[in-house]
């Protein structure tokens, strides 16, 4: 008996097929990753029980999971909005930092004098506007000047990081030896939703944004035009769609969504602006969107699972004594195999029995 790959007549696109392909990829990653435990004399079953149990079946761990997931959802939504519109934006880390700067400045300046019900919408609105303006520069370069958004947006991440470094070591630096801003007024912190945990209303901000993005992309004329523009700009122009205008709109909205992760991270987790705040979230959110197949629901699920993987991985390392490199390898295996699981939707595994001569 031998195994053979056979191309399907049409890719399997049903939710059931997608679920089983992803589940098979995760199981395969865990099996391969389990082999790394053997030199450390750690049981894979015990380690994986720590991973899943701590992240999703304890109140404290689940609180950390949703806290980790909230900014990933927002960045992932920005990725979905941009990439499905044909705008390959990679500057979400910079947009996040811009949102963090704006929300921190607002909290330090007038946060203590405003009721939270007024402060939070204002902080989110200003962060969205600042992030949209930041990413809109990239969209303008693409739509009007013919620039490449991939390279320009990546370079702007470094500009934003250096801007934060300048602010926390200069104009916004608090007294002391560390490069950070003053502690934000407690009245501006995101309220906790689960007692005894760090889960805050940032997850609700992310879920509301997910609903709005889903409605725009699936239920509006603008969403239809954005998706058509992403699928075929030439066909979109033939159909009378303003491709340049839709590209510019996509760039502004995606950066605004990414910037919302800034106040969620600063107001909900750090409570001050730090050098390196939200480090890596802008790129991990892109991965979450890819794991979610660039769909809104898939991105939310993938972000929660990725947040749980981070929380559970830390617990697994504490309990089993595994080095951090092993945890990172397992996380990378899960991501890579899930992304590669589309192969199973286009090909099927066939068992062939050889006939005796």
pLDDT above 90 covers a percentage of the chain that reads: 58
Tokens of 145: 């000047």
Per-residue pLDDT tens digits for 294-305:
999 999 999 999
pLDDT in the model for residue 276: 86
Average pLDDT over residues 307-324: 85
Distance CA 71, CA 282 (A): 9
User: Which one has a higher pLDDT value, 133 or 178?
Assistant: 133
Say whether pLDDT at 342 is over 90: no
The conformation of residue 91, written as its DSSP 8-state character, comes to -
pLDDT confidence band for 229 (50 / 70 / 90): very high
- 343 has pLDDT over 80: no
> For residue 356, is pLDDT > 60?
no
- Region 127-146 average pLDDT: 92
In this model, does residue 285 exceed pLDDT 60?
Answer: yes
| Spatial CB neighbours of 188, under 8 Å, sequence gap ≥ 6 | 107, 111, 112, 116, 119, 123, 267
Q: What is the pLDDT of residue 348?
A: 73
Q: Could you tell me the pLDDT band of residue 349, with boundaries at 50, 70 and 90?
A: confident
- Average pLDDT value for the chain: 90
- What is the token pair recorded at 62? 């689940």
Section 20-34 average pLDDT: 87
Per-residue pLDDT at 97: 97
Residue that the structure tokens 């944004």 belong to: 209
């Amino acid at each position: 008996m031998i195994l053979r790959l056979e191309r399907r007549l049409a890719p399997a696109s049903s939710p059931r097929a997608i679920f089983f392909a992803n589940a098979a990829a995760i199981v395969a990653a865990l099996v391969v990753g389990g082999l790394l435990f053997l030199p450390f004399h750690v049981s894979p079953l015990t380690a994986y029980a720590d991973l899943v149990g701590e992240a999703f079946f304890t109140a404290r761990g689940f609180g950390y999971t949703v806290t980790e997931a909230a900014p990933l959802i927002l960045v992932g939504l920005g990725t979905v909005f941009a990439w499905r519109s044909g705008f390959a934006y990679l500057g979400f880390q910079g947009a996040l930092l811009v949102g963090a700067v704006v929300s921190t400045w607002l909290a330090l300046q007038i946060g203590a004098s405003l009721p939270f019900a007024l402060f939070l919408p204002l902080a989110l609105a200003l962060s969205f506007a600042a992030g949209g303006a930041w990413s809109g520069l990239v969209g303008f370069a693409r739509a009007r000047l013919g620039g490449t958004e991939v390279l320009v947006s990546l370079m702007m991440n470094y500009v934003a990081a250096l801007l934060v470094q300048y602010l926390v070591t200069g104009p916004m630096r608090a007294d002391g030896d560390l490069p950070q801003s003053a502690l934000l007024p407690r009245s501006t912190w995101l309220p906790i939703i689960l007692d005894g945990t760090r889960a805050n209303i940032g997850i609700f901000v992310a879920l509301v944004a997910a609903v709005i993005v889903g409605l725009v992309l699936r239920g509006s004329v603008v969403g239809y035009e954005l998706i058509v523009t992403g699928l075929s700009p030439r066909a979109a122009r033939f159909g009378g769609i303003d491709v340049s205008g839709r590209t510019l709109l996509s760039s502004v909205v995606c950066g605004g969504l990414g910037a919302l992760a800034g106040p969620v991270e600063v107001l909900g987790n750090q409570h001050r602006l730090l050098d390196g705040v939200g480090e890596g979230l802008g790129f991990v959110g892109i991965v979450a969107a890819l794991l979610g197949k660039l769909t809104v629901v898939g991105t939310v699920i993938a972000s929660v699972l990725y947040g749980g993987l981070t929380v559970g991985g830390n617990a697994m390392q504490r309990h089993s004594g595994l080095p951090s490199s092993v945890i990172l390898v397992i996380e990378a295996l899960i991501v890579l195999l899930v992304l590669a699981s589309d192969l199973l939707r286009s090909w099927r595994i066939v068992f062939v029995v050889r006939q005796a001569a």
